[in-house]
Chains A and B, each alone.
Chain A
Amino acid sequence: QKEVEQDPGPLSVPEGAIVSLNCTYSNSAFQYFMWYRQYSRKGPELLMYTYSSGNKEDGRFTAQVDKSSKYISLFIRDSQPSDSATYLCAHRARSGGSNYKLTFGKGTLLTVNP
């Protein structure tokens, strides 16, 4: 079983839709969770970061973490064509010698159609 599972999509939605992106993980040591956004031919950029169960909101984006189920989600409200990108979930362990290492999902390709 891979440490991080993410549905690669592709996911295509109309403008204005609510988008739900998800990842599951198997390593209980993962305590910090991130979502990165990667536009075509660009490097990933940090979108959201959280370390606790529950919801964290930033504008149109909400990150949700359920540590008991080892499940994380990213919700995008009022999606825009500019949100079209690949979304990568990332995790890291809380402590230990390699706590700088992030484990990434394979990414979900999202297209928002005008």
Chain B
Amino acid sequence: GAGVSQSPSNKVTEKGKDVELRCDPISGHTALYWYRQSLGQGLEFLIYFQGNSAPDKSGLPSDRFSAERTGGSVSTLTIQRTQQEDSAVYLCASSWTHRIHYEQYFGPGTRLTVT
């Protein structure tokens, strides 16, 4: 079946602009995660959605970052007033509820470059 999809695959933006990154999880997956992967760094947790529960936003690095998940499916990560340090690959992952503890399916990521 279809895996996790993300769009765009690449995004180049000027410093100060807003960007929106989209994630389509695997159908039926209730859990959705956003991670950031910077050069030479591991995956950094950003935010977690589970069903209709309030999201865990504890990993968002600043109030310029926000995310929403509509209808328990598609999610959008928004970065306002982008800075050069926001340049990274943004990965989305989804999981079944009973396997959230270890099995996350990742999308290919969106490579964001802020010039």
Q: Tell me the complex Cα distance, A82–B82, Å.
A: 37
Residues of A close to B105: CB separation below 8 A = 45
Chain B binder among A12-20, A67-75, A94-102:
A94-102
Chain B binding site: helix, strand, loop or mixed by DSSP? loop
Shortest Cβ distance from residue B21 to the other chain A in the assembled complex, whole angstroms = 14
A101–B109 contact, CB under 8 A?
no
Residue of B nearest to A39 (CB): B108
Residue on B nearest A92 in the bound complex, by CB: B101
- CB 8 Å contact bits of A30-51 with B (1 = contact, 0 = none): 0010100000011111100100
Among B50, B93, B101, B107, chain A packs the most CB atoms within 10 A around the CB of: B101
Count chain A CB atoms within 10 A of each CB in B48, B105, B106 and give the residue with the most. Answer: B106
Chain B residue at smallest Cβ distance from A51: B102
| Chain B residue contacts of A101, Cβ below 8 A | 45, 48, 56
CA gap between A43 and B45 in the complex, in Å = 14
Number of A-B residue pairs having CB atoms within 8 Å of each other in the complex: 53
Using C-beta atoms within 8 Å of the partner chain, give the interface range for chain B: 20 to 34
Q: Which of A44, A98, A100 has the most CB of B within 10 A?
A: A100
Cβ-defined contact, B93 with A43, below 8 A: yes
**Contacting residues, chain B, for A44 (C-beta < 8 A):** 43, 91, 106
Chain A residue with the shortest CB-CB distance to B59: A101
Q: Is the CB of A32 within 8 A of B4?
A: no
Sample 15 A-B pairs with CB under 8 A, ordered by A number. Answer: A32-B101, A32-B102, A41-B109, A43-B93, A43-B108, A44-B106, A46-B102, A49-B102, A92-B102, A98-B56, A98-B58, A100-B100, A101-B48, A102-B102, A105-B42
Give A residues with C-beta under 8 Å from B: 4, 6, 8, 32, 34, 41-46, 49, 88, 92, 98-102, 104-107
Using a CB–CB distance below 8 Å, which chain B residues touch chain A?
A: 4, 31, 40-43, 45, 48, 50, 56, 58, 91, 93, 100-109
With A92-B101, A101-B48 given, name 5 new contacts (CB 8 A): A32-B101, A46-B102, A102-B43, A102-B45, A105-B42
